[in-house]
Structure 1
Amino acid sequence: MFDAILRPIIDKPLNLLAARAVRLGISANLLTICGGLLAVCAGFALAGGHFDVGLVLVIANRLLDGLDGPVARITGPTDFGGYLDIVADFVFYLAVPLGFGLAAPANLIPALVLACCFGLTGISFLAFAAIAAKRGLETSAHGKKSFFYSTGLAEGTETIVVFILFCLWPAHFPTIALAYAGLCILTVIQRTASAWAAFKP
């Protein structure tokens, strides 16, 4: 929901950091892989109840995720890089709820519900992107991407905020997780309506 609004604000500092990373010989794929590994580490830290460490790893993961795109645009984007990026994103989206789900018995059901809802939003997102590519549709609302990024109520910015709230107030994980799961379902409904409008015969 807020990704497209924040894009012009965060692009400049990210582009400066990306240019420095390229000068140091750091590739976009390396940043993506390291971000995915940090996501897994965050899941383990959260499962062990180390919520402060988890918070640092969550923020570090998002920083690397924000950098790999600008680096790719400088060095030349690749289809494999686009594939790797979305896989690493969903490692992050699933590792954090899994970590909280394992941290306390009361968290397990809300974590499963949230993970399932993330799966549904991911399916709706990728299905939209695949059909948009088939039809030759393009958008620049989220900057230059490897494939079509459809806008939704629950996007990257909202997810980062929610994951930070999880780490800051872990006792409230069940409530926040179920509320955000509801927003994810609304996003699937919204994206389905958009798909009907864009793809109907």
Structure 2
Amino acid sequence: MLDAPVRNLLAGPLDAVAARIDRQWITPDRVTMAGLVLGLAAAGAAALSWWAVALVLWLVSRVADGLDGPLARRRRARGVGTTSGDAGGFLDITADFTVYGAFVLGVGIGWGGSVLPFLTVLLAYYINGTAFLAFSSIAERTGRRLDDGRSLSFLGGLAEGTETILVHSLWVLAPAIAGPVAWVWAGLVLLSGSHRMVTGYRILRAPAAGAERSED
């Protein structure tokens, strides 16, 4: 829900940072991998209940996740680099899923209570991921791509990347209430996943633009 306005707000600062780090040896894929390593380290710190360390690593990993795209666009504009945007987009989304899942597991271990709310969050993430990845694949193949500048066609919802970052940060800022927050978050993500399933189904049932033109 907040992704579009937050992307607009942060576009300028992220582009400025990308310009400063744009060096030959700092590639977009290496930035993506740095975000992955930092995110996994954040999950490990959370599992050990090192909450301050987990928060710092988590936020820095998300900054890295926000920088690989602007850096890649700068490289493509200059014709620099050999890795295609599709390969970078694939690496980015798989790294994100890995970090999100690992961090949920880390907090579930570290907070000291039942892991059930965090397992429910993982189930909700699984449903959401299935819905938007399946939609993106079919939409691309059938000419129904939703282009917002990202590698995949994203169906919007209540729970998007920005909300995920905020909730995961809240877990390590207030670990005593991480479990109850996880229950609420799981409900919102499940609701968002249901919305994506219905919306994606309706979009894919409609005739593709190319099919409409071919019938005229």
- Structure 1 residue aligned with 2:3: 3
Alignment of 1:113-132 (within 5 A): 113-132=120-139
SS at structure 2 position matched to 1:23: coil
Q: Compute the displacement of 1:139 (Å).
A: 3.1
- Structure 1 residue aligned with 2:106: 99
Indicate the larger mover: 76-85 or 132-141.
132-141
- Structure 2 residue aligned with 1:162: 167
- Structure 1 residue aligned with 2:17: 17
Q: Does structure 2 conserve the Cα–Cα contact (< 8 Å) formed by 1:28 and 1:69?
A: yes
Indicate the larger mover: 188-197 or 169-178.
188-197
> Which consecutive unaligned segments of at least 5 residues does structure 2 have?
77-83, 207-216
**In structure 2, distance between residues paired with 1:41 and 1:4:** 28
Indicate the larger mover: 23-32 or 38-47.
23-32
Q: Compute the displacement of 1:118 (Å).
A: 1.0
**In structure 1, distance between residues paired with 2:194 and 2:26:** 39
Q: Compute the displacement of 1:104 (Å).
A: 4.1
Q: Compute the displacement of 1:196 (Å).
A: 2.2
**In structure 1, distance between residues paired with 2:50 and 2:28:** 29
Residue by residue over 1:69-88, the C-alpha shift from the partner in whole angstroms, topping out at 9 and shown as x without a partner, is 11111113521111100011
The number of equivalent residue pairs is 199
- Structure 2 residue aligned with 1:72: 72
Instruction: Report the structure number with the largest CA radius of gyration.
Output: 2
Q: Compute the displacement of 1:135 (Å).
A: 1.8
SS at structure 2 position matched to 1:84: helix
Q: Compute the displacement of 1:176 (Å).
A: 0.5
Q: Compute the displacement of 1:6 (Å).
A: 1.5
Residue by residue over 1:91-111, the C-alpha shift from the partner in whole angstroms, topping out at 9 and shown as x without a partner, is 121111111121144141111
- Structure 1 residue aligned with 2:209: none
Q: Does structure 2 conserve the Cα–Cα contact (< 8 Å) formed by 1:100 and 1:107?
A: no
**In structure 2, distance between residues paired with 1:173 and 1:59:** 17
**In structure 1, distance between residues paired with 2:176 and 2:160:** 24
Indicate the larger mover: 71-80 or 7-16.
71-80
Q: Is 1:147 matched with 2:157?
A: no
Residue by residue over 1:137-168, the C-alpha shift from the partner in whole angstroms, topping out at 9 and shown as x without a partner, is 33344xx1112122111001100110111011
- Structure 2 residue aligned with 1:48: 48
**In structure 2, distance between residues paired with 1:24 and 1:146:** 23
Identity over aligned pairs, percent: 38
**In structure 1, distance between residues paired with 2:111 and 2:89:** 35
- Structure 2 residue aligned with 1:37: 37
> Which consecutive unaligned segments of at least 5 residues does structure 1 have?
none
Q: Which residue among 172, 179, 186 is the counterpart of 1:174?
A: 179
**In structure 1, distance between residues paired with 2:132 and 2:145:** 14
Residue by residue over 1:162-198, the C-alpha shift from the partner in whole angstroms, topping out at 9 and shown as x without a partner, is 0111011001011111111111111111111211221
